[in-house]
Structure 1
Amino acid sequence: MLITEGVRRPAMASARQVLCLCALLCVPRVRCEPIRYSVAEEGESGSVVANVAEDAGLTPAQLSARRARIASPAGRQHFRLERATGRLVLAERLDREELCGRSLTCTLAFELLLENPLQFFRVEVAVEDVNDHSPVFPEERVTFQILETSDPGSRFPVEAAHDLDVGSNSIQAYTIAPENEYFSVSFETHSDDDKYVDLVLDQTLDREAHSELLFSLIATDGGSPPRSGTTQIHIVVLDVNDNAPTFTQKLYIGRVLENAPMGSVVLSVVATDPDVGLNGDISYRFSQSVGESHLPFTIDSMSGEIRVTKILDFEDAQKYEISVRATDGGGLSGMCNVMVEVVDVNDNAPELVVSFFSSPLPENAEPGTVVALFAVRDRDSGVNGEITCALEDQLSFSLRPAYKNYYELVTVSTLDREETAQYLVVILTADAGSPSLTNTQTFTVDISDVNDNAPVFNQTSYTMYVRENNIPAVLVGAVSAVDSDAGPNAKVIYSLGPVYAAERDPCSCISVNSENGHVFVLRPLDYEQVRQLEVLVSATDAGSPPLSTNVTVRLLVVDENDNAPVVLHPAQDSSPPSSELAPRSAEPGALVAKVVAVDADAGQNAWLSYELAKATEPGLFRVGLHSGEVRTARSPLARDAPRHSLVVVVKDQGRPALSATATLTVVLAESVAELLSELGSAAAPAEPAGSLTRWLVLAVVAVSCLFLAFLLLPPASGALCGEYMYLRTNGKYFNIKCNLSCYVCFPYNIVVV
């Protein structure tokens, strides 16, 4: 039979609960009065207790969405929650006597816990007693030896029957069946733990008429229907020994520590008998009650000392009620009650029961986020059961009291997984006993990653090199970036971007591997056209939203010796070839001519050297190795031919070296007339003499005028030695540096700008 508290509570209590539920719906995790129900014991598993969702102001849909469940600090689940209907049902058959013993009240408390957001309700279910136990006497047969001289009104104590039920279902009356004229029963109740049953002698016995009497003593409880228990009373009428043992106290009370060693004396009971001899010899024994067949005590039959025989535990039993019978040698006996109270000592460390724990925790969780909800308890009582709870050396978390002995573990600062990926939160609990007992509970809180770190390159910029005329798709280097996040948030993808915002597309001749950052040059490059390139490489993680970082990659093209020297002077395609004049009176080392060449390469590939490869008179002229100047090696002799042909080889310093040749003609003459004569002899025979003479005169005049112009013009109007000029040859212009011999070496084809 199930009875909900909502039916039996007064209207005022019901209104208070409604107001409490309204407040709870408005404010997260508001603590208020518990929701109370009552249920009769012995109900079948699955029986409905009440609709807890309705009483808590929740709908079944909310129970499922918020993952509602029942959390019991004791660990044993007597009830279960049907999320689909919101009903609270029995998870097992309840036995009130097993749960609460003979306590007048029996309440099972638990929490209705809801997650996301965290909220809980305190629920208390009172287990109502039903009359499911009959009274039971300690002994099936009790024998009394009563003197026939006993006075009417004499009382003979009988050990009371025991009924595990409580309240009105406990024992209410004792009767005798069949009734007789000699005895009646007296039943007195001073408290739940202090009950006396006596057989009262109504008239004097006559052993000669009745030496023995046999009848039943019946104990009846107040249940509906009532239950009863019976014990047989056997009366033996004695002819002598008219005094029964009498205890000095009706009730003896002793106290013993729960850690008392075995053999310790708890107390002593004392009974006296005015008889002498055998009728005055008293022996003591326990008259054991129902459920107390394994008492942790023993009694000395001669002295009445009660000693400890087993280890005591206050948490299992706080007191023991024992009946002691004293019997003399004539068979008369008396009874007393002994109550032994077990005194608690601090022998139980605090316990921590976790109801809710959230791990892993995202690193962007705000301060105040609830990580765990737990309860602390101590099986000891009084001061020994008072508990303090604290964190051990922890700055990122704190404890916040929630409800009675409940605490919440919450964050107090922002978390950073890259700094600390896991926290070991140690909670220390201690009771107030002396000495204090402690316990620790460790929570391992893992921090989950959030994409809050962009990739970082291992260099601020990269410089890479590639030789010109490279093969397509050649690997020239790699960029590398790391992301301190984890998982997909740490996966780095590389890509190219334009260096300047105005550019729409990145350079098409460079690519980067998106997985490993390898940089490739896709097509051959020409150093003479492109000396260097700059690209922007972006490293992007796979987070949501993704984060990225850019770095500049500078690609330098390394020169290859792929251009041969080009001779600028003397012009190799002129017709007739130009001639250089050298006086026969020239001293050794006199400048005769200058070979000028350039190389489009760079570095040592453009470093030129000159050497005389062939000459009409090998010992007459020499060429400067690096200057290309043609000078006399000795003074010309009269026997030397007037016209000399020289072949100069120009080489660069590349590997392999490339070269070019320059051919020039040197005429030895002492005067202009001799020069004209030599030049005339070299003219083409088909040209008329007058025409050749005219051209030679014009050439000499032009050279003389040009020479005078260079000497007379101010520095601002012409090129001085050490300045640059443009030299035109073969229809091309070259920028060369002038020197003191330029007017001798370059009498032709010079354009001053």
Structure 2
Amino acid sequence: MLPKLSLGLVASLGLFLVLSQTAFGDVSFSVPEEMKQGSVVGNIAKEIGLDVGKLAARKARINTDGSSKRYCDINLNTGDIIVTDRIDREALCGKKASCVLKQELVLENPLELHRITVHVQDINDNSPQFKKKTIKFEIRESANKGSRYRLDEAHDADVGQNAVQGYNIEANENFRINVVAKSGGGKYSELVLEKELDREQQQELTIVLAATDGGTPQRSGTAVIHVTVLDANDNAPVFSQAVYKASLPENSPLDTVVVTVSATDADEGINGDVTYEFDHISDENNNLFSLDHKTGEISVTGDIDYEEGSKYEVVVEAKDGYGLSSEAKVIIDITDVNDNAPVIYLKSLTNPIPENVSPGTEVGIINVQDRDSENNRQVRCSIQQNNFILGVETNSVELVLNKELDRESLKEINLLLTALDGGSPPMSGTVVIHITVLDANDNVPVFSQAVYKVSLPENAVLGTIVATVSAADADEGLNGEVTYDFGHISEDVKSIFSIDHKTGDVKLMTAVDFETVASFELRVTAKDGLGLTSYAKVIIDVTDVNDNAPAIFLKSLTNPIPENVSPGTEVGIINVQDRDSENNGQVRCSIQQNVPFKLVPSIKNYYSLVSTGQLDRENLIVSVRDNGQPSLSATCSMYLLISDNLAEVPELKDIAYDDKNSKLTSYLIIALVSVSTFFLTFIIIILGVRFCRRRKPRLLFDGAVAIPSAYLPPNYADVDGTGTLRSTYNYDAYLTTGSRTSDFKFVTSYNDNTLPADQTLRKSPSDFVDAFGDCESSPEVGTAVAYNLNYSVF
């Protein structure tokens, strides 16, 4: 006999944790039993409408429903469901009319769960079999024609049409066969006496009994009926109940009496002696229960497990001494005991989980089973982690992300999932699910300071690290890699400073000058690997160093100076300047002693040259020094012409007189005559303006008349100065006699270190008007002095 699985129900609770995008649907296939391994059951990809090429990427796999044995698997290349193990319908489902294998197809990314139902079709692979090869009867010769003798039922492990369909016996003159259909299904046969027996003629008969099924090809099984002709025994045993029912807790100890059957026989003697035996019982049931042939007690002989079988039915036959028999049915109901803890199966899990997954997202599939029944199998699940919650639906539980994850505060999560059943006492199962939180770029770099303030000497060496900015990003990997750069700054500033993209070092690339720009404000960006950016400000204050020597400027001078000028008379104004700041820009001005002049401070950096005694031709040296460390200084030599009357002026004219001067004098005489008429004056002014614009000379003051270096007006004299200092600046000055207005013209400096003209003496007449008032030229013709200013920078 082939082993059969019991018809008991296995109670289990499947708690599935599924994603919101999981599509539920049953896919059914029908397959005959005993198919060869590798046979194709059907194509699941076509059934669910999934591209075959995505099966491997989505980790498609077949999970069994509560069984460790896998009968089918999936071919990821074709999408076919193939047979991987022997499918024996009789071993799986016994005599059940319908035999179903339940499996699950699990897909990931996104997670999906499809239930697969495989209907196992019966094939005619089992022949009918009798419990005994020889069936013995003792029939009295007094038996009446038409007497019926029930024969042992043949059993076929197949079902339906493949089960036992009929019986027949070999031809004989005493008996015929009668086939009876049972109300619960199945058929048995009776031996019907057609002709009375004659013990004197034949004491024993041997007849072959055959049972046939309805399969193709048809299968059959045989037994031998051995009839011994006896005297008459006309009463069969009678059971006290047609059906006996008993209840038995699972895990009952061995030799526990389940139920006692009882039958009586009205005959006396050997004809009334009753014995009991199981009519037809499977090997499995035969290992669980035993029957006392004399007392009729049914006892436990094996391990009773509710989960393996919750109900058993056996047929007990009572037979008297000469073979008359009857039968009764015994139904044993197994009651469940809470002896199974819930078992948790991790079907699938999205791991790692990105930290930016939205709350409400389902992240895995878990199956929880309890093989007990009723309250013992009612399972409640809980988790000890507030990042996740369990959402219960019909026949399923969803593990849902409850709140946003933050990898920076929690990189690893250990979920303790507990399943507790409803038994008394309850039993529980636990599993720890390890989840790794995957970093998302959700943090911008953060500078250590919003504003960096540094100072930089203007004489700093190129390549000096001015400042180092630093930003940290809480993310990891590429998301946390920070690079630095300048924000929106001008190209001029970018040429002065550079920033190291890795270290954040801000370096000096070109020299800075405090006198040009005293402060720089840089905008610095910190950017992570995926572009999140933050900003900081770097303020660089350039500190002054004493790198500019003072400069001396003669703003006005009375020339010639009458030798009888009164002491205390102002004869000139000197301005000193230093481009440095603070102490470096503070200057002190002085002249040599033993001269009849002194310097009197007026407004800031202006000094009045005041006479102090009797004058003669004088040579003044003006010195100026700043307060820097080390101190820088400059000097200027002034040659003053002292005149006692106007007669000396012609002598000065004669020094540089030429033909050009004579022509100029004629022009001046004509101009003075023409002043008498307004019209001629207006014309001369227009011509003078046009003349000045055409020549565009480089002048010290706007509006001054440019005169060639080789040319001196008749009333002017040229006195060359000789510079003896290291850096000398030379100025030729032409002054009208008795006038405070000076016209300056630059000449070539003595060396290349001379300051350019546009950085030293560039003043307009209005500047002097603002500082000293309007000084008109004297109309009289007087002695003129030409002086040369020489100063050097140390």
Which category of TM-score, normalised to the shorter sequence, fits these structures? 0.5 to 0.7
1:132 corresponding residue in structure 2: 125
Deviates further, 160-169 or 231-240:
231-240
Deviates further, 154-163 or 533-542:
154-163
Q: Which of the residues 492, 496, 506 maps onto 2:482?
A: 492
Instruction: Using the TM superposition, give the Cα deviation of residue 361 of structure 1 relative to its aligned residue in structure 2, in angstroms.
Output: 3.3
Task: State how far apart, in whole Å, the 2-side matches of 1:518 and 1:124 are.
Answer: 68
Instruction: Using the TM superposition, give the Cα deviation of residue 114 of structure 1 relative to its aligned residue in structure 2, in angstroms.
Output: 5.7
Task: State whether structure 2 residue 159 is matched by structure 1 residue 166.
Answer: yes
Residues 523-547 of structure 1 show CA distances to partners (whole Å, capped at 9, x for unaligned) of: 566667665443222111111xx12
2:781 corresponding residue in structure 1: none
Task: State how far apart, in whole Å, the 2-side matches of 1:333 and 1:276 are.
Answer: 15
1:398/1:412 contact within 8 Å kept: no
Q: Which of the residues 230, 253, 257 maps onto 2:245?
A: 253
Residues 624-661 of structure 1 show CA distances to partners (whole Å, capped at 9, x for unaligned) of: xxxxxxxxxxxxxxxxxxxxxxxxxx99897xxx5799
Task: State how far apart, in whole Å, the 1-side matches of 2:626 and 2:24 are.
Answer: 98
1:162/1:290 contact within 8 Å kept: no
Distance verdict in 2 for CA 1:192–1:346, change over 3 Å: farther
1:723 corresponding residue in structure 2: none
Q: Counterparts of 1:499-538 in structure 2 under 5 Å?
A: 499=489, 503-504=490-491, 506-522=493-509, 532-538=519-525
SS at match of 2:224: strand
Task: State how far apart, in whole Å, the 2-side matches of 1:535 and 1:84 are.
Answer: 61
Q: Which of the residues 332, 335, 350 maps onto 1:340?
A: 332
Distance verdict in 2 for CA 1:662–1:446, change over 3 Å: closer
Residues 295-320 of structure 1 show CA distances to partners (whole Å, capped at 9, x for unaligned) of: 22233444322222322112212333
Task: State whether structure 2 residue 272 is matched by structure 1 residue 263.
Answer: no
Residues 664-687 of structure 1 show CA distances to partners (whole Å, capped at 9, x for unaligned) of: xxxxxxxxxxxxxxxxxxxxxxx9
1:98 corresponding residue in structure 2: 91
1:582 corresponding residue in structure 2: none
Task: State how far apart, in whole Å, the 2-side matches of 1:598 and 1:117 are.
Answer: 80
1:551 corresponding residue in structure 2: 536
SS at match of 2:539: strand
Task: State how far apart, in whole Å, the 1-side matches of 2:386 and 2:180 are.
Answer: 63
2:164/2:186 contact within 8 Å kept: no
Give the partner amino acid of 1:108: L
Instruction: Using the TM superposition, give the Cα deviation of residue 409 of structure 1 relative to its aligned residue in structure 2, in angstroms.
Output: 3.8
Task: State how far apart, in whole Å, the 2-side matches of 1:45 and 1:280 are.
Answer: 57
Please, which runs of 5 or more residues in structure 2 have no aligned partner? Answer: 1-19, 553-575, 589-624, 636-640, 646-759, 763-788, 790-794
Q: Counterparts of 1:647-662 in structure 2 under 5 Å?
A: 658=630
Distance verdict in 2 for CA 1:112–1:312, change over 3 Å: same
SS at match of 2:495: coil
1:720 corresponding residue in structure 2: none
Distance verdict in 2 for CA 1:661–1:30, change over 3 Å: closer
1:481 corresponding residue in structure 2: 471
Deviates further, 289-298 or 69-78:
69-78
Deviates further, 477-486 or 599-608:
599-608
Task: State how far apart, in whole Å, the 2-side matches of 1:505 and 1:522 are.
Answer: 11
Instruction: Using the TM superposition, give the Cα deviation of residue 493 of structure 1 relative to its aligned residue in structure 2, in angstroms.
Output: 0.5
Distance verdict in 2 for CA 1:607–1:213, change over 3 Å: farther
Deviates further, 102-111 or 165-174:
102-111
SS at match of 2:287: coil
2:386/2:402 contact within 8 Å kept: no
Give the partner amino acid of 2:297: E
Q: Counterparts of 1:465-476 in structure 2 under 5 Å?
A: 465-466=455-456, 469-476=459-466
Instruction: Using the TM superposition, give the Cα deviation of residue 77 of structure 1 relative to its aligned residue in structure 2, in angstroms.
Output: 4.9
1:565/1:652 contact within 8 Å kept: no
Distance verdict in 2 for CA 1:659–1:483, change over 3 Å: closer
2:135/2:152 contact within 8 Å kept: no
Task: State how far apart, in whole Å, the 2-side matches of 1:168 and 1:240 are.
Answer: 40
Task: State how far apart, in whole Å, the 1-side matches of 2:319 and 2:178 are.
Answer: 22
Q: Which of the residues 282, 288, 291 maps onto 1:296?
A: 288
Q: Which of the residues 217, 222, 240 maps onto 1:225?
A: 217
Instruction: Using the TM superposition, give the Cα deviation of residue 510 of structure 1 relative to its aligned residue in structure 2, in angstroms.
Output: 2.9
2:32/2:120 contact within 8 Å kept: yes
Give the partner amino acid of 1:263: D
SS at match of 1:174: strand
Q: Counterparts of 1:269-668 in structure 2 under 5 Å?
A: 269-274=261-266, 284-286=276-278, 289-292=281-284, 294-326=286-318, 335-351=327-343, 356-374=348-366, 377-382=369-374, 384-386=376-378, 394=386, 397=389, 399=391, 401=393, 405-411=395-401, 415-418=405-408, 420-424=410-414, 429=419, 431=421, 437-440=427-430, 443-466=433-456, 469-499=459-489, 503-504=490-491, 506-522=493-509, 532-543=519-530, 546-557=531-542, 658=630
Instruction: Using the TM superposition, give the Cα deviation of residue 163 of structure 1 relative to its aligned residue in structure 2, in angstroms.
Output: 0.8
Identity %: 38
Task: State how far apart, in whole Å, the 2-side matches of 1:194 and 1:434 are.
Answer: 42
Instruction: Using the TM superposition, give the Cα deviation of residue 129 of structure 1 relative to its aligned residue in structure 2, in angstroms.
Output: 1.5
Task: State how far apart, in whole Å, the 1-side matches of 2:247 and 2:185 are.
Answer: 17
Residues 90-133 of structure 1 show CA distances to partners (whole Å, capped at 9, x for unaligned) of: 45553221222210012334455665666665543322212111
What is the RMSD of the two structures over their aligned residues, measured on CA atoms?
6.1
Residues 247-291 of structure 1 show CA distances to partners (whole Å, capped at 9, x for unaligned) of: 333443322122333332210122334566777665545566343
2:387/2:405 contact within 8 Å kept: no
SS at match of 1:292: helix
Task: State how far apart, in whole Å, the 2-side matches of 1:566 and 1:271 are.
Answer: 142
Larger RCO (alpha carbons 8 Å, 6+ apart): 2
Give the partner amino acid of 1:547: L
2:387/2:404 contact within 8 Å kept: no
Residues 23-56 of structure 1 show CA distances to partners (whole Å, capped at 9, x for unaligned) of: xxxx976666x45443332333444445555555
SS at match of 1:489: helix
Give the partner amino acid of 2:533: S
SS at match of 1:295: helix
Distance verdict in 2 for CA 1:252–1:507, change over 3 Å: same
SS at match of 1:508: helix
Q: Which of the residues 3, 16, 32 maps onto 1:40?
A: 32
Task: State how far apart, in whole Å, the 1-side matches of 2:123 and 2:169 are.
Answer: 26
Instruction: Using the TM superposition, give the Cα deviation of residue 160 of structure 1 relative to its aligned residue in structure 2, in angstroms.
Output: 2.0
